Chains A and B, each alone.
Chain A
Amino acid sequence: MDSDIVLLFLQQGIASGLVTGSVYALLAIAIVIVFRTTDVANFAEGEFYMAAAYFAFFLIAIAGVPIWLALPLTLVAAALAAGLFQRVVLRRVAAARGVAVNLVIATLGLSYVLKGLVRATGFGDTPRTFPSVVPDGSVTLGEASLSYLDLTILAAALAVMAAFFAVFNLTRTGRAMRAVGMNRRAAQLVGINLGRTERLVWAFAGGISSVAAILIAPKLLMTAEMGVVVTLAFAAAIVGGFTSLPGAVVGGFIIGVAENLVGLFVSTRAINVAPFVIIMLVLVFKPQGLFGGRLRVRKV
């Protein structure tokens, strides 16, 4: 490989990686915020994302809902569905026998239900193309070329992240979420409604997942299996320490860039296994992630 190609691949890989990475970052935020506040690793995150993409697809392509209306509808529906899952299922699971294993099994259950439902509609088996509202065309940055769609994705993802961090850091609700994540008992003592906060966290996660889905769906073929992409978001969350939100964002970009570079320099087949290898390597050599703080010590 001569140096010109290396340079081109490098620039293109980084530019495209930042675009997909921004979507992984959104999904990683959804995973981390749920884990931090409710101690549940949400194995249904991929299917939240997949189902949201299909919901938007139905509205736009089948029901003919205009896109400016379909997007907020999807966001609201995803947030409601996720909140409902916490309210109806997880609360009940915790009451029945609230051990961590059972909560994770419940999320695995939801992931299969969502996948099966989408397949049962008959639209999940053949790959679909999500309509794009962004005109074709591209810009060149250095030697890398990005489509208008890419730029829109990156800009929108960054805007959503900024909005999320503003809510999380500045509003009362956001502070309640952080407090619950730090110390549930103490948060309850200062008058925070645990159930309501957890529900909001799940709704938030659902909403963010739907944004990620709508953003990236036009770039991908839609299938009922598209949720596997979220494995990359899990890898991003783990790289970021699994409890750190800024870590999730940086992790998302790292994974996005790494994925694209692996695809360009190694092989596209290696892309499939890269996230799992990354997850294992990080867990083995730097289990607290790049940004995770100290390991939590349980008080007895």
Chain B
Amino acid sequence: MDSHLALDRIVMRFGGLTAVNGLSMSVARGAIHALIGPNGAGKSTVFNCVSRIYRPTEGRIRFEGRDITGLPAHAMAGLGIARTFQNLELFNELTVLENVMLGAFSRLETRLVERLWPASPRTRARAEEILEGTGLADVRHVRANGLDFGRQKLLEVARALALSPSLLLLDEPAAGLRSREIERLDTILTDLNRERGITILLVEHVMQLVMSISDRITVLSFGEKIAEGTPEAVRGDPRVIEAYLGTKQAGEATHHG
């Protein structure tokens, strides 16, 4: 399998603090790849570097072989990279449908002339299709901030999907969800990956989900990669156990894993 996304010795410093220290990793095309590690390990920072919210202090990021390190954040959607946010970044005052249409729109209607018109039927149809697929169709006219937490998380995923990405970045999609909702997420993500071939990179603390869907796992601790491999290999790795010991995730890791 070829490399869909490659990070080459990424360093991210904030003032004196080094959040990510020389991380190299490769996400294979068509894989579900998880990035895990204790709190403060730098996982979200890596995400923000890939989606270009941060500009890494050093290192290069390649997407489909192309160097994207210098591109602006808004160019990612056009390349086929979509993301969700850990702390929910929905368009709160807009409806569920509008949230998803904003995703579909950027991918389907790129010329200014098209943008000056109300959404075309195909954008609308694309948005409806995604709402059906994620089970949000019955709340399409509800404002995003009127949804319960579980559906808000789902809407984040739906909006990202509307961009028709080839790479989906999910920042803690399961955090705060109930176990039934997690199972549902598990199904949705597996389907996306198998049926549409979308590569998924996710940061997640919920080990139940990580262990169940991931093809490959990279473990970060204090900004450095300490282990990488299949779920089985990582689970037994003594360095991983050590990194988690004494932290809050240790209990979670054993409990869910």
Closest residue of A by beta carbon distance from B51: A300
Q: Determine if A294 is an interface residue (Cβ-Cβ < 8 Å).
A: yes
Contact flags B65-109 to A (C-beta < 8 A → 1, else 0)? 000000000000000000001110100000000000000000000
What's the minimum C-beta distance from B51 to chain A, rounded to whole angstroms? 9
| Total cross-chain contacts (CB, 8 A) | 11
Closest residue of B by beta carbon distance from A298: B53
**A300 contacts B89, C-beta separation under 8 Å:** yes
Chain B residue numbers with a CB within 8 Å of A299 are 44
Chain B residue numbers with a CB within 8 Å of A297 are 14, 54
**A300 contacts B15, C-beta separation under 8 Å:** no
What's the minimum C-beta distance from B123 to chain A, rounded to whole angstroms? 26
Contact flags A283-300 to B (C-beta < 8 A → 1, else 0)? 000000000001001011
Closest residue of B by beta carbon distance from A300: B85
A294 to B16, CA, bound (A): 12
**A300 contacts B14, C-beta separation under 8 Å:** no
Chain A residue numbers with a CB within 8 Å of B86 are 300
Q: Determine if B134 is an interface residue (Cβ-Cβ < 8 Å).
A: no
A300 to B87, CA, bound (A): 6
What's the minimum C-beta distance from A182 to chain B, rounded to whole angstroms? 13
Between A294, A297, A300, the greatest number of chain B beta carbons within 10 A of the residue's beta carbon is seen for A300
Closest residue of A by beta carbon distance from B14: A297
Closest residue of A by beta carbon distance from B45: A299
Contact flags B1-38 to A (C-beta < 8 A → 1, else 0)? 00000000000001100000000000000000000000
Closest residue of A by beta carbon distance from B48: A300
Closest residue of A by beta carbon distance from B15: A294
Chain A residue numbers with a CB within 8 Å of B89 are 300
A297 to B12, CA, bound (A): 13
A288 to B86, CA, bound (A): 29
Chain A residue numbers with a CB within 8 Å of B14 are 297
A294 to B14, CA, bound (A): 10
A46 to B66, CA, bound (A): 54
What's the minimum C-beta distance from B39 to chain A, rounded to whole angstroms? 13
A3 to B86, CA, bound (A): 66
What's the minimum C-beta distance from A195 to chain B, rounded to whole angstroms? 22
A299 to B86, CA, bound (A): 10
Chain B residue numbers with a CB within 8 Å of A300 are 44, 48, 53, 85-87, 89
Closest residue of A by beta carbon distance from B171: A300
What's the minimum C-beta distance from B218 to chain A, rounded to whole angstroms? 21
What's the minimum C-beta distance from B90 to chain A, rounded to whole angstroms? 12
A299 to B15, CA, bound (A): 15
In A259-300, the 8 Å CB interface with B consists of 294, 297, 299-300
Closest residue of A by beta carbon distance from B54: A297
Chain A residue numbers with a CB within 8 Å of B48 are 300
Closest residue of A by beta carbon distance from B47: A300
Contact flags B216-241 to A (C-beta < 8 A → 1, else 0)? 00000000000000000000000000
A299 to B14, CA, bound (A): 12
A300 to B52, CA, bound (A): 12
A299 to B87, CA, bound (A): 9
In A196-244, the 8 Å CB interface with B consists of none
Contact flags A125-154 to B (C-beta < 8 A → 1, else 0)? 000000000000000000000000000000
Chain A residue numbers with a CB within 8 Å of B15 are 294
Contact flags B47-63 to A (C-beta < 8 A → 1, else 0)? 01000011000000000
Chain A residue numbers with a CB within 8 Å of B44 are 299-300
Chain B residue numbers with a CB within 8 Å of A294 are 15
What's the minimum C-beta distance from B14 to chain A, rounded to whole angstroms? 7
A300 to B44, CA, bound (A): 8
Chain A residue numbers with a CB within 8 Å of B53 are 300
A300 to B84, CA, bound (A): 10
In B151-208, the 8 Å CB interface with A consists of none
What's the minimum C-beta distance from B5 to chain A, rounded to whole angstroms? 19
What's the minimum C-beta distance from B248 to chain A, rounded to whole angstroms? 14
Chain A residue numbers with a CB within 8 Å of B54 are 297
A272 to B15, CA, bound (A): 40
A220 to B44, CA, bound (A): 55
A294 to B17, CA, bound (A): 14
Closest residue of A by beta carbon distance from B83: A300
Contact flags A151-183 to B (C-beta < 8 A → 1, else 0)? 000000000000000000000000000000000
What's the minimum C-beta distance from B227 to chain A, rounded to whole angstroms? 26
Chain A residue numbers with a CB within 8 Å of B85 are 300
A300 to B54, CA, bound (A): 11
What's the minimum C-beta distance from A85 to chain B, rounded to whole angstroms? 26
A202 to B140, CA, bound (A): 42
Closest residue of A by beta carbon distance from B85: A300
Q: Can you give 9 A-B contacts (C-beta < 8 A)?
A: A294-B15, A297-B54, A300-B44, A300-B48, A300-B53, A300-B85, A300-B86, A300-B87, A300-B89
Nearest 6 pairs of A and B residues by beta carbon? A300-B85, A300-B89, A300-B87, A300-B53, A300-B48, A294-B15
- Given A300-B48, A300-B87, 9 extra CB contacts under 8 A: A294-B15, A297-B14, A297-B54, A299-B44, A300-B44, A300-B53, A300-B85, A300-B86, A300-B89
